[in-house]
Structure 1
């Protein structure tokens, strides 16, 4: 009788409607909950029955679907003590959640290291070339102030070595051997010195002062008695002073 009273209270308080059917060892009700959904309520009230009987009926009703217990009422002894043996179970058969396919872990691609760009080496700056001598028949044609390719190659190196140098004074001195008249030698040596000056200036060399002179056969560096000595004396000396 006590359980029937509880059942009636449940139908009034939380269940909007009840439909009953019975088995040999239990009573099963199809009930409508207050939220409008349907559920089952199994009662196992016989003296020889237990919660196992109710659970067997729950399993039979739900089959392979998991049972979701909504409420349960424990068996009460004559002194109103609970036996931890539920004899009334209200439940729903939950729809099993379809197993989600296991997504493979994303493949993390390590970034390709960007090779460090080595800084460009600083340009090597050579020490300025202070002095150069154009000497011999390979630097000028015989009796001429025209520079040969050998002479211009040497002057190009000289210009490159002194680019950006603040030159205070550029001295260019032309010389000849002792053959020929003094007037001819002075004129030829000066023409060759001016030819060198023009080439250097065209190449980009700048000087605060240009000292360009022809000295003829003066100041020989070798004897004029041999062809080798005379070739050494035919020369143009270039001197850089200051920065």
Structure 2
């Protein structure tokens, strides 16, 4: 009777409304909490009942939904000491939280850019013939090549790189100054000097035709300094590829 009185007081003080329905071993009320939400209160007050009876009723009411305990009243002994055996439980049935499946983050694969093709090497047309002419390509009376001469020969080698040369003709000439013997010897030395530089630079030919012709075959009159400078020359010519 004592617990019934307490229950009635709880309904009046803290719960806005109570609707009761009972079973053989319990009383179950539908109540409205002060915040306006609906809850349930189950009471198991018989001598042969226990908190297990209350919990079974909680499970029955909520079914598959999880139960959230709001308040509970422990079973009291004759000296008003709690036995940790709740005989009244106020609870709500919670809606189970359904977790949304984690959608996999699509992996965006950046398109692989096609490699930029390397530019084709610029191939220069083979130079068929060049002439080293005048005092700018050789010192006077010398077979030593000047920097101007080696620059022209480097360009000639670069233009004919990779070309299969059947025959490379190198012909040396002088002006008419000096003896024929000296001129022949100097023109041949200059032709060989050009051959040595080209071979060292990597130019390849099946046959090398290297000759010195002295003052023969002038290309200008030997009467003037300009004419004589033109006649002092080395002609390089490619035959076949």
Could you tell me how far apart the structure 1 residues matched to 2:142 and 2:240 are?
31
Of 194, 205, 208, 1:207 maps to 205
| SS at structure 1 position matched to 2:152 | helix
Partner of 2:171: 173
Provide closer, same or farther for how the CA distance between residues 183 and 93 of structure 1 changes in structure 2, counting only shifts above 3 A: closer
Partner of 1:222: 220
Partner of 2:37: 64
Could you tell me how far apart the structure 2 residues matched to 1:113 and 1:27 are?
69
What is the correspondence of 1:14-93 to structure 2 with a 5 Å cutoff?
28-30=21-23, 64=37
Shift of residue 201, structure 1, vs aligned partner: 0.4
Of 182, 192, 212, 1:194 maps to 192
Normalising by the residue count of structure 2, what TM-score does the alignment of the two structures yield? 0.60
| SS at structure 1 position matched to 2:194 | helix
Provide closer, same or farther for how the CA distance between residues 30 and 241 of structure 1 changes in structure 2, counting only shifts above 3 A: farther
Check the 8 A contact 2:31/2:39 in 1, yes or no.
no
Partner of 1:153: 151
Mark the runs of 5 or more structure 2 residues left unpaired by the alignment.
1-18, 41-62, 69-93
Could you tell me how far apart the structure 1 residues matched to 2:186 and 2:66 are?
123
| SS at structure 1 position matched to 2:218 | coil
Partner of 2:3: none
| SS at structure 2 position matched to 1:240 | strand
Partner of 1:240: 238
| SS at structure 1 position matched to 2:184 | helix
Shift of residue 104, structure 1, vs aligned partner: 11
Could you tell me how far apart the structure 1 residues matched to 2:176 and 2:159 are?
33
Shift of residue 93, structure 1, vs aligned partner: 8.9
Could you tell me how far apart the structure 1 residues matched to 2:240 and 2:163 are?
9
Provide closer, same or farther for how the CA distance between residues 66 and 191 of structure 1 changes in structure 2, counting only shifts above 3 A: farther
Normalising by the residue count of structure 1, what TM-score does the alignment of the two structures yield? 0.59
CA RMSD of the aligned region, Å? 3.8
Most deviating of 104-113 and 160-169: 104-113
Mark the runs of 5 or more structure 1 residues left unpaired by the alignment.
1-25, 33-55, 68-89
Could you tell me how far apart the structure 1 residues matched to 2:24 and 2:214 are?
135
